[in-house]
């Protein structure tokens, strides 16, 4: 009798779980703003003053989840001249790439889905800004 009840419970559980397991997931990731774990640090030169130590420090950000497999860099300064240089590697697929990121434009880069390492430089950096993010 106990064995019969156990078989019935397992059968009902399998019938309920099968449609749930076979239904494709329709959930999508909401856009997420991610801060780099290591900020970019650079020397602005003889006439640039950013702080007490005469070094500039900025933590780059990226947005993930707007489009699958894509990372978006926001506008840094609407009237800014110049650009940063971004280098990336998808740790899941091994794909690599790079892009110039102007201060006055947002730039989207297809990196693919998975864990991605990003490195941001500007040509005068002492420490490259670096971040590791999951790209949905």
Spell out the domains of the chain, with CATH numbers in brackets. 29-135 (2.60.40.3080)
Whether residue 25 is predicted with pLDDT greater than 80 in this model: the reply is no
Across 19-26, average pLDDT: 41
Distance between CA 86 and CA 118 in Å, rounded? 7
Alpha-carbon dihedral 66, 72, 73, 77, rounded to 10 degrees: -60
Quick: pLDDT tens for 52-71.
667 889 999 999 999 999 99
Across 93-116, average pLDDT: 95
DSSP 92: T
Q: What confidence tier does 44 reach under pLDDT thresholds 50, 70, 90?
A: confident
Distance between CA 128 and CA 107 in Å, rounded? 19
Rounded to two decimals, the pTM is 0.72
């Amino acid at each position: 009798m106990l064995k019969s009840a156990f078989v019935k419970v397992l059968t009902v559980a399998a019938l309920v779980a099968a449609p749930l397991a076979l239904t494709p997931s329709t959930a999508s990731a909401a856009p997420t703003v991610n801060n780099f774990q290591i900020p970019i640090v650079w020397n602005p030169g003889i006439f640039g003053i950013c702080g007490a130590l005469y070094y500039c420090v900025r933590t780059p950000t990226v947005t993930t989840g707007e489009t699958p497999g894509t990372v978006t860099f926001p506008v840094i300064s609407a009237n800014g001249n110049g650009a940063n240089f971004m280098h990336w590697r998808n740790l899941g697929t091994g794909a690599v790439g790079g892009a110039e990121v102007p201060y006055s434009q947002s730039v989207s880069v297809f990196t693919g889905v998975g864990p991605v390492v990003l490195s941001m430089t500007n040509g005068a950096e002492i420490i490259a800004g670096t971040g590791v993010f999951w790209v949905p």
